[in-house]
């Protein structure tokens, strides 16, 4: 295996996250959470457009009806990047002003999953996962988390993965998933990240059903089998990788976002592109098509 890692958007003091590949328009959408920016990378001409949302943006997804669905500081929104038009849907945590949305993904039936976390300061176990249905009805998962993360689905859609990045937890869970109803089964530990350097941040699943985890604070990403066995570790040029996402015409390029601040003192010179966007080629595996939100 000959793996090549290249920087495609230069590093900056940003919290890069939320990468999602849109198969129809062949673009990679991603966000700068703290900067309140939504980015669109075009591999054809290597351009990266930026759209200001006006508040911290945790995650996004393309909509079948056009534009984006956004999970931001003030809840769920519809957003048209081209016109700047916004429509608020719902804020499930208007009584939790300390919180913001973080990670998210779309399930095989076109529903939007997204999770919250306390934004800054001393971590508290007050984050939740929410499911925004296609009729815009909202359901919440009962369990509380420190830092919701890692949302992804198995190739046939019958398993959902999610994680908590906090150093006290650093666990990825899986549970049975009913794509017809959006109901989840009982969660079980899928992978305890204490056996690797990085804590679990964003994740994605490849065509063989293996889970790819960004190891934040660990300078690595990991490939984990459907049975929870560590198969592959890849060193990356940043301390804080955040979200892997397969893209490209053949879904064989692994894009990776990262964080460009709060780095270990003295390590900055070794990671000049921290906060940048990366493309990883030569992994020998392909990803899955990401559904659009049907609401």
**Could you give the residue numbers annotated as active site?**
201
Contacts of 265 (CB under 8 A, 6+ apart): none
- Specify whether the CB–CB gap between 37 and 28 falls below 8 A: no
Q: 3-class SS at 135?
A: coil
Q: 3-class SS at 158?
A: coil
In 3D space, the residue among 74, 76, 70, 66 whose CA is nearest the CA of residue 39 turns out to be: 70
Tokens for 68, please give them: 């984006």
Q: Give the integer Cα–Cα distance in Å for 253 and 30.
A: 15
Tokens for 169, please give them: 């937890």
Q: Give the integer Cα–Cα distance in Å for 93 and 65.
A: 26
Tokens 């301390």 — which residue? 239
Q: Give the integer Cα–Cα distance in Å for 234 and 232.
A: 7
């Amino acid at each position: 295996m000959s793996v090549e890692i290249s920087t495609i958007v230069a590093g900056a003091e940003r919290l890069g996250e939320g990468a999602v590949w849109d198969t129809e328009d062949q673009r990679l959408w991603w966000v700068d959470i703290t900067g309140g920016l939504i980015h669109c990378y075009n591999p054809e001409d290597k351009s990266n457009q930026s759209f200001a949302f006006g508040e911290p943006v945790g995650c996004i997804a393309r909509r079948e009806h056009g534009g984006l669905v956004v999970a931001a500081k003030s809840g769920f929104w519809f957003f048209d990047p081209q016109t700047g038009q916004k429509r608020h849907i719902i804020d499930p945590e208007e009584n939790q002003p300390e919180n913001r949305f973080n990670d998210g993904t779309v399930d095989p039936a076109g529903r939007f999953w997204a999770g919250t976390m306390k934004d800054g300061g001393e971590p508290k176990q007050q984050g939740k996962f929410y499911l925004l249905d296609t009729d815009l009805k909202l359901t919440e998962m009962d369990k509380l988390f420190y830092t919701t993360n890692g949302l992804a689905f198995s190739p046939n859609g019958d398993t959902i993965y999610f994680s908590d990045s906090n150093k006290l937890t650093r666990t990825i869970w899986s549970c049975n998933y009913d794509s017809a109803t959006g109901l989840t089964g009982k969660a079980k530990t899928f992978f305890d990240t204490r056996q690797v350097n990085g804590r679990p941040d964003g994740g994605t699943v490849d065509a063989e059903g293996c889970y790819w985890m960004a190891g934040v604070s660990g300078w690595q990403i990991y490939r984990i089998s459907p049975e929870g066995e560590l198969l592959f570790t890849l060193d990356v040029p940043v301390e804080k990788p955040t979200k892997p996402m397969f893209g490209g015409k053949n879904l064989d390029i692994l894009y990776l976002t990262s964080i460009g601040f709060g780095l270990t003192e003295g390590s900055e010179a070794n990671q000049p592109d921290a906060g940048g966007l990366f493309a990883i080629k030569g992994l020998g595996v392909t990803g899955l098509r990401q559904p659009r939100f049907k609401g």
